[in-house]
Every structure is written in C-alpha cells, then in structure tokens.
Amino acid sequence: MSPAVSEYPSLKIALGGDATAVFDAGVPVLAGEMTDNLFATAQSAGRIGGLSLFNTGAWVLGAVSRSPTTGIESCAQRIYTDILRATRGLCLARIWNYVPAINESDGSGLENYRAFCRGRSRAFEECHGRGFEAGVPAASAVGCQSPSLTVAFAACRAAPRHVENPRQVPAYRYPPEHGPRAPSFARATVVADGEETTVFISGTAAILGHATVAADDIGAQLGCTLENLREISLACGLGPGLDRGGRSSRHFKVYLRQAADYPQVAATLAGRLFAPGDRVSYLHADICRRPLLVEIEATLFGIRAGSAWD
C-alpha cells in the first residue's frame, strides 16, 4: 500500500453513542462516511468472553477486536463461539468481519480468508450441528491493515428471512476449490419488525455461480456486481433498485482493492445506484478473492410496504 493511501483515516464502527462503543476496523476511508454508526441509540449491555455487547430496542449488538496470536482459524472460531453464546435465543441478522492480511498465508499454507472460514464454520457447526447453514445470516469479510481480527454483529428477536441470489451458488455450498470449509453466510437477511423492515445485503462482488467474473477488469466487475445487487434486491422484495425512491435510510460501503479505481467507480455508482440522502463509505481493502477488485454492501432501515420502487 502506498504512503498516500496509508494516510487515509481508518473506518470506525460505532455501536452506540458512547465512546466505548467505537471499534477501529483498520480499513482506510477513501471518501464518504468515516464512521459506520447504524445503531446510534444503542447502550452498553456488558460483556461475554471478549465481546462488548450493546442493545437498542429489539436489537442486540456486539463487537470485538482480537489479535490472532494462535492463528486466524482458532481466533475466528473463538470469536464466533462467543457470538453464538451471546446470542443464544436470538437470531443473527448481520456480521461484519475485518480480516488481517486476508489474502496472505496463515503460515501453514492456507490463505488467511480460508482459515477464517474454517474457524467460523466450525463454531457454527459445534453450536448448531450439521445443517447449520440454513440459519447463517448476511455477512461480509474484507481485509484490514490492523493486526487484529475485528468482528461486529447484529442479532434480533424476530425471526429473519435469509435470502439467496438466483445468479449465484449459495456461498455455504461452494465446492472445495474455494477452501476446506465453505463461507458461512447468506446473500441477504430481511428482518420484519411491525410496519418497518430492515434489510442487510452482504458484501456483493462479481461472482456468477461460484466463479469470479472478469478477473482484474474493474468496469466489467462493477457491472456484474450491480446486476447481482439488482437480483438480490428483487429476491428481498425491494424492487430492482434496493428501495431507491422509497422512504428507507440506505447505508452503503464500497470496498476497492485499488484506490486508483475510486473515480471511475464513484462516477458509475452515482448514476446507477446511489440517490440523494444515501450514506456511503468508499474503503480501500483487499477482498476475499485476489482477482476481485470491488465489493459493495448495503443496509436499509425503515422500509415500509408500498415503497415507490423504480
């Protein structure tokens, strides 16, 4: 990473208004929102294991940053074991993972992302047994500059609906060529609470079936990513444009492997995805597969029936 990029501020994850609820993701912010504060009214609710917990309304939140001194796999398994213990009786709706040196080797010849996936999967299986995949929530996992593995989650009391993209193989069914354990996440999670609905869209990139599309071509990858977001939006019941034109509050994070791609990507997304009032962060981060150059995630709050879809 160039010195110019390394001088950008790091994304902060806030799980409330208290200073103790702020975690450093270790991901440089190229432009836009510097703090990801989706649950501004949350209050501290103690700790379980290494997790700091918070709650607001029907939501239970948590986050932890831990140094993987015994390896990424065991660190991920321990963190997820704590998460599953803290959310017993609740439903996980969204998990954000910031993985140090995500595309580098863990020292045993396994890529850090694949080691992370194995640890995460083992924690889910130990808690829920075989077939746990049916309950895994929306998630993202991108690289960070921090030496610590940082994980944040949102859980709810209402039973969510987990959604897949018909253009893609579910991540938890990827074949072994993508690692010894498939990634444990759904493409999106929909949480209905009374008259309003919250939707979490996982990190979305240029993957069709389970194969990477247009390796190292940012324009083609961005086009494929936008088509995948359109299909996920339809599957979630949001129309083709992620409730664009509706009354929801829309939050986006755009991860770029190459900071130099920012002007092209920002110009395209301004015309094809974003609307006035959207909250957007452009971030410089390695992505789970080396050929992938861009990944986009979204969180939508306050979706109401009858939104004016475009």
- Which active-site residues does the annotation give? 295
CB atoms within 10 A of CB 254: 25
- Kind and range of the H or E element at 119? helix 112-128
Cα separations (Å) of 118 from 107, 276, 303? 15, 40, 35
Amino acid at 289: R
Give the whole-angstrom CA distance, residue 276 versus residue 254. Answer: 17
> DSSP string of 246-263?
SS-EEEEEEEESSGGGHH
- Tokens 């997304």 locate to 269
Give the three-state DSSP class for 55. Answer: strand
The angle at the Cα of 300, spanning 272 to 165, to the nearest 5 degrees, equals: 70
Q: Residue 3: in which H helix or E strand, if any? A: helix 3-6
